[in-house]
Amino acid sequence: MSDIFESLESEVRSYCRGWNTVFDRASGSFLYSEDGHEYLDFFSGAGALNYGHNHPALLRPLLEYLLSGAVVHSLDMKTKAKRRFLETFHELILKPRDLNYKVMFPGPTGTNSVEAALKLARKATGRFHVLGFTNAFHGMTLGSLAVTGNSMKRQGAGIPLTHASSIPYDGFLAGETPDFLWLRSALADSGSGLEKPAAVIVETVQGEGGLRAARASWLRELSEICREHDILLIVDDVQAGCGRTGTFFSFENTGIVPDIVCLSKSISGFGLPLALTLFKPELDLWKPGEHNGTFRGNNPAFVTGAAALEHFWQDRKFEQEIAAVTAQLHEGLRLIANATEGATVRGRGLLAGIHYPDPTAAGKIAAESFSRGLLVETSGPEGEVLKTMPALTISTTELRHGLEILAEAAEAITGQKIVLRTVA
């Protein structure tokens, strides 16, 4: 059956192909289609809905703001909503973590934040080369695509992607080569042919590239190398940030302090577009208006963003709740993975999933899950990893229900019996 989505919308559409239904309403961890089906959401808007759909603590102030006649669009002008967001972000996020960053609003998407980070790193160092990692994902515009690994996505650029190269992420060489042997050697040898980079850009967990999670020791060594060689360290926390891995920033317990941090997706908390690029004050070398854009001051997103920080990040309680849900998710994933030889659990916090040795398995399980009322996607260059990303606010009962659907779907595809008995 052809519909307006198929007849009019470009072939580039993607999620709507696997999840071929028309969504209508959403609440918490559930989406509802117009034909009355309920879907439990283990996708969370690719990380843009960490607090679930339409959370009342965010919806209420948003509606009040809109009904009050307050300013909606204002580029980067001063507004009350922006002041409140900046004050709240400073008080609840930066100050308690002893992080001294300036805040830039680069435009509302993750790739906007990454482009600003790359541009600033190049401006600050006077160098143009940037190192990214195997299987990295940083966005679809030319600068961020140049540090993205996926060959299909890279091909879409239509021009050579330059001034960047890819080095092995943690685990890429299966531990057979000492970490950073190549990077240290190449930086030390003037004959290596490696252009000294302005920056290294890294995800602490590769959300799109297969849920590989870097070890803290690996990140620390990377950070040390950057410091030794005067290279800027950019952490792209667009997907792993805002609590997804258990702490507000994904690097919090690793002992590194990046020079530049990219945030987007869940920073508005409500699924409204908003992005930040954070950097150390000495890097604030922008001239006024040197990097601008029409949609940098999204006031409705400032309102929900501030409300989300106030509601969830006043103290450490939310982190404890995330830890409890994480334990339940990982235990469930472990039991599901155990049923298939060679399958392993990957990821960190609520950015976790199962790597299957058969690269077609995860896609089939995701499709089967959809037909059973669960939204779950795949990750990795071949879609070989089943990727679960429930809302951080999901209840124990909802999570168990989702894991049961996943287990049934995995059983149907792999033919292996799965018992989830021990999951709370």
- Mark the segment that binds ligand PMP (CB under 6 A) among 200-208, 313-321, 341-349, 403-411: 200-208
Residues 6+ apart with CB under 8 A from 193: 186
Closer to ligand PMP at the Cβ: 53 or 138?
A: 138
Question: Interaction with ligand PMP in 304-323: which residues (CB under 6 A)?
Answer: none
- Mark the segment that binds ligand PMP (CB under 6 A) among 104-112, 182-190, 346-354, 385-393: 104-112
Q: Binding-site residue total for ligand PMP (CB under 6 A)?
A: 15
Least distance CB 277 / ligand PMP (angstroms): 12
**Binds ligand PMP by CB under 6 A, chosen from 44, 250, 254, 264:** 264
Quick check: 114 binds ligand PMP (CB under 6 A)? yes
Six-digit token string for 360: 């077609």
Least distance CB 276 / ligand PMP (angstroms): 12
Quick check: 236 binds ligand PMP (CB under 6 A)? yes
Closer to ligand PMP at the Cβ: 376 or 407?
A: 376
Closer to ligand PMP at the Cβ: 46 or 86?
A: 46
Closer to ligand PMP at the Cβ: 44 or 340?
A: 44
Six-digit token string for 71: 């300013």
Quick check: 110 binds ligand PMP (CB under 6 A)? yes
**Binds ligand PMP by CB under 6 A, chosen from 239, 277, 304, 379:** 239
Least distance CB 120 / ligand PMP (angstroms): 16
Closer to ligand PMP at the Cβ: 149 or 402?
A: 149
- Mark the segment that binds ligand PMP (CB under 6 A) among 13-21, 89-97, 152-160, 236-244: 236-244
Question: Interaction with ligand PMP in 120-139: which residues (CB under 6 A)?
Answer: 137-139
Question: Interaction with ligand PMP in 134-163: which residues (CB under 6 A)?
Answer: 137-139
- Mark the segment that binds ligand PMP (CB under 6 A) among 9-17, 201-209, 310-318, 393-401: 201-209
Quick check: 377 binds ligand PMP (CB under 6 A)? no
Task: Note the residues at the interface with ligand PMP (CB under 6 A).
Answer: 46, 109-111, 114, 137-139, 203, 207-208, 236, 238-239, 264
